[in-house]
Amino acid sequence: MVENTKYLFVVDSSFVLAFLLDEGNTEVELIFEKHAKHEVKFISVSLLKYEVANSLRTKVLRKKISKSKALLLYKNFKELDIVEEVVDYFEVLKSAILNNLSFYDCSYLYLAKQQKAKLLTLDSALKKKI
Amino acid sequence: MLTKRTNILFDEQIFKYLVALADKGKTSVGELVRKAVIKVYIKPQINYRRMTSFKNILRLKKGLGHTTAKEIKQSINYGRKY
């Protein structure tokens, strides 16, 4: 079901990771606060939980954050209740080829188009395709 | 899926009111009760959990400093490779 697009946002991993890892990014924090207060709704694709976990793992391996902090960040990220939506992977592939995007990036973009929602991303290349 | 059944006792006045309300909304008393339960007991719990997680993340990332969008993208792409 297509929801009220004014309040519905698709978030990609770059946006979520900016909230989890970038201290003092008030712009990103503000919109996450709205999500926490139910003033806006975040949705994403199943890929999000893998990408967020993988990036946290990389940060631990590079000794940028401790293992315990990474685990706690991930636990709290999961409890933010970002709703996971299913996309048509065949259509995502078609769109990825057409837009010269990776299948990963395109899945976020495709969901945003499907739900008529704004895509929140820090990825400049992906922003250009919106 | 609705699989659990329970019996609820109401005052006659409240029950009459609920029946009228259900008729007006073309729904059932059971549906009204289910909606009320979610509103009173479930939603506040979810709201509390979300807000707690939001605050926990702000606390946890204290001291991590600034991470650029480029660094974030690099770590995502690294994860996509391995």
Q: How far apart are CA A116 and CA A5, in angstroms?
A: 6
**Got the DSSP string for A60-78?**
HHTTSS-HHHHHHHHHHHH
Render each residue's pLDDT in chain A as its tens digit; 130 residues. Answer: 445 556 999 999 999 999 999 887 899 999 999 999 989 999 999 999 999 999 999 999 999 999 999 999 999 999 999 999 999 999 999 999 998 999 999 999 999 999 999 999 998 888 887 7
Q: What is the pLDDT at residue A4?
A: 52
Q: What is the ipTM of this complex?
A: 0.89
Partner A, chain B 46-75, Cβ-Cβ below 8 Å:
46-47, 49-54, 56-58, 60-69, 72-73, 75
Q: What is the pLDDT at residue A6?
A: 65
Give the global pTM. Answer: 0.81
User: Which residue of chain A is at minimal alpha-carbon distance from B62?
Assistant: A23
Show residues of chain A in contact with B54, CB under 8 Å.
32-33, 35-36, 80
Q: What is the pLDDT at residue B76?
A: 92
Q: Quick count: other Cβ atoms within 10 Å of Cβ B70?
A: 12
- Amino acid identity of residue A107, one-letter, is S
3-class SS of residue A120? strand
Q: How far apart are CA A8 and CA B58, in angstroms?
A: 23
Pairing type for strands A83-84 and A118-120 reads unpaired
Q: How far apart are CA A67 and CA B17, in angstroms?
A: 56
A48 touching B, CB under 8 A?
no
**Got the DSSP string for A22-38?**
-TT-HHHHHHHHHHHTT
Q: Do A79 and B52 make contact, defined as CB atoms within 8 angstroms?
A: yes
Give helix then strand counts, H and E, for chain A.
7, 4
Q: Could you tell me the two tokens for A13? A: 């991993």
pLDDT tens-digit profile of B32-80? 999 999 999 988 888 899 999 999 999 999 988 888 889 999 989 888 8
How do the domains of chain B map onto residue ranges?
Answer: 12-80
Q: How far apart are CA B15 and CA B29, in angstroms?
A: 9
Radius of gyration of chain B (CA): 24
pLDDT tens-digit profile of A12-30? 999 999 999 988 789 999 9
Radius of gyration of chain A (CA): 15
Contact A53, A61 (CB under 8 A): no
Q: What is the pLDDT at residue A2?
A: 46
